[in-house]
Amino acid sequence: MRTIIALLGSSRRNGNTGRLMDSLASELGIEVVDLSEKKISAFDYEHKNRADDFEPLMEQVLRSDAIIFASPVYWYAVSAPMKIFLDRISDYLDIPDLLEEGRRLKGKHGYVVCTSVYDEVSSAFISAFRETFEYLGMEFGGVLHANCANGFVTSDHEKEIGAFSKLIRELSVEGT
Ligand SMILES: Cc1cc2nc3c(=O)[nH]c(=O)nc-3n(C[C@H](O)[C@H](O)[C@H](O)COP(=O)(O)O)c2cc1C
């Protein structure tokens, strides 16, 4: 069976992005991993942080076929917990005993779920994911974005959430 993992990085668990991600996760029947609950420290060139929660979480990610990255747009970029997670992927490109494992990211589908206060999501925000996925040999699956200028109202986004969940299910099955 194809598996999907959702990683949420936001400064509040039940804020706009968390609620958008929860609605999508309930359509997909998956759990959401809250990066803020994990003890994951910033990238360290000396890799003195290998005992934190990053490697066990990456093992879960590497066992999944599709990865959903959920973050609000904070200053045209991802949230701090998401940035730390993305930076730490470099461990799998640097540390000799993780290199083989890291290659398993290749071919996985990556999806972006995000909220901001505009109709259009910042192109810098999306480009960072697009280029990161490309570098890692991942497939860019698509973006689900909600304008939350007036907060997150589930009923305003039901159609897009349904369509995105269908896209994820179809693409993840197609890749088998
Ligand atoms: C620190 C900070 C920076 C933000 N920067 C942007 C931005 O650059 N562009 C934008 O459209 N919205 C920006 N916003 C608004 C958030 O993207 C928006 O309110 C989002 O839905 C918040 O999601 P959350 O509840 O998960 O934190 C910012 C909000 C905060 C708190």
Query: How many angstroms is it from 69 CA to the middle of ligand 1?
Result: 16
Lookup: tokens for 3: 């598996």
| pLDDT for residue 176 is more than 80 | no
Distance from the first to the final alpha carbon of the chain: 9
Q: How would residue 173 be classed by pLDDT, with cut points 50, 70 and 90?
A: low
Distances (CA, A) of 175 to 111, 139, 169: 14, 10, 10
Query: ∠165-36-75 over CA atoms, to 5°?
Result: 80
**Residues having CB within 6 Å of any atom of ligand 1:** 10-12, 15-18, 72-76, 115-118, 122, 148
Q: What is the pTM of this model?
A: 0.97
Lookup: tokens for 121: 């999501």
Q: 37 — phi, psi (to 5°)?
A: -85, -15
Nearest CA to ligand 1 atom 26: 17
Lookup: tokens for 150: 């007036």
What average pLDDT does the chain have? 96
Q: Give the CA radius of gyration of the chain.
A: 16
Do 2 and 172 touch, CB atoms closer than 8 A?
yes
The whole-number average pLDDT for the span 147-151 is 97
Q: What number of other Cβ atoms are within 10 A of residue 126's Cβ?
A: 17
Do 173 and 28 touch, CB atoms closer than 8 A?
no
| pLDDT for residue 172 is more than 90 | no
Q: How would residue 171 be classed by pLDDT, with cut points 50, 70 and 90?
A: confident
Percent residues over pLDDT 70 in the chain: 97
Nearest CA to ligand 1 atom 19: 116
pLDDT tens sequence across 92-142: 999 999 999 999 999 999 999 999 999 999 999 999 999 999 999 999 999
